[in-house]
Chains A and B, each alone.
Chain A
Amino acid sequence: GNSVTQMEGPVTLSEEAFLTINCTYTATGYPSLFWYVQYPGEGLQLLLKATKADDKGSNKGFEATYRKETTSFHLEKGSVQVSDSAVYFCALTSYNQGGKLIFGQGTELSVKP
């Protein structure tokens, strides 16, 4: 079945550091890929998405590129801020699955001033 694997957290960085959170997936067909973010005390929010191979999703300085050859969707940001501290979830859905999302286990990011 479909699955998503994320790098383990927590990840602790200093402000302005470069961020990479790895995400790989297993899926039949051509899934759509997502990054969701959960800020403390809040719900899950869509951060970015990519719906086909080689697409790059981007938002708020974050980027992720849909790599079919490596089945990956790594999240990157060039310079993190304290306000980026949150839990980040990689997820996928396949077109024929009624919008059901399959999530990775989440990676907690803590950015120190």
Chain B
Amino acid sequence: EPEVTQTPSHQVTQMGQEVILRCVPISNHLYFYWYRQILGQKVEFLVSFYNNEISEKSEIFDDQFSVERPDGSNFTLKIRSTKLEDSAMYFCASRSSVSTMNTEAFFGQGTRLTVV
């Protein structure tokens, strides 16, 4: 069964460092998303991406964040200068279309980011 793959599963980084979280969406999917979950809190939408550009971003997704689909298979989330409050589980998701009647979002296993 096709799946969304995220790497690494756990990343520890020092405050102020740049991190790149990687995702390989399902191959025929067109819509890509990043979500995050701070420990004990809700899963929050960060950004959606379609046709090589951002479709929508949340207030959380400030100038420190960027996304890229560099090679047609990977989908990355970059945090330029990490803060302690960026520590969270980051989930990547993909979907073949945005018709919610017929499609579901498939999620990766998540990357736990710990900023120290």
Q: Are A45 and B42 in contact (CB under 8 A)?
A: no
Is the pair A93, B43 in contact by a Cβ cutoff of 8 Å?
Answer: no
The answer to whether A32 touches B100 (Cβ under 8 A) is yes
A95 in the interface (beta carbon within 8 A): yes
A20, CB-defined interface residue at 8 Å: no
Interfacial residues of chain A within 81-113, with CB under 8 A of chain B in the complex: 89, 91, 93, 95, 97-106
CB pair B100–A95 under 8 Å, yes or no, is yes
CA distance A31 to B92 in the complex (A): 22
Decide yes or no whether A44 CB sits under 8 A from chain B: yes
Main secondary structure of the interface of B (DSSP, over half): strand
B92 to chain A, nearest CB (A): 9
Size of A's binding interface in residues, CB under 8 A: 25
Q: Report whether A99 and B98 are in contact in the complex, using a CB–CB cutoff of 8 Å.
A: yes
Annotate A57-71 by CB proximity to B: 1 below 8 A, 0 otherwise: 000000000000000
Report yes or no: A93 in contact with B100, Cβ–Cβ below 8 A.
yes
Q: Which residue of A lies closest to B101 (CB)?
A: A51
Interface residues of A in 26-64 (CB under 8 A from B): 32, 34, 36, 41-46, 49, 51
Given A95-B100, A98-B50, A98-B56, the answer on whether A106 and B42 have CB atoms closer than 8 Å is yes
Given A98-B98, A103-B44, A105-B42, 20 more pairs with CB closer than 8 A: A36-B107, A43-B4, A43-B109, A43-B110, A44-B43, A44-B107, A45-B107, A51-B100, A51-B101, A91-B43, A95-B100, A98-B55, A99-B100, A99-B103, A99-B105, A101-B43, A101-B45, A102-B45, A105-B41, A106-B43
| A contact residues vs B (CB 8 Å cutoff) | 32, 34, 36, 41-46, 49, 51, 89, 91, 93, 95, 97-106
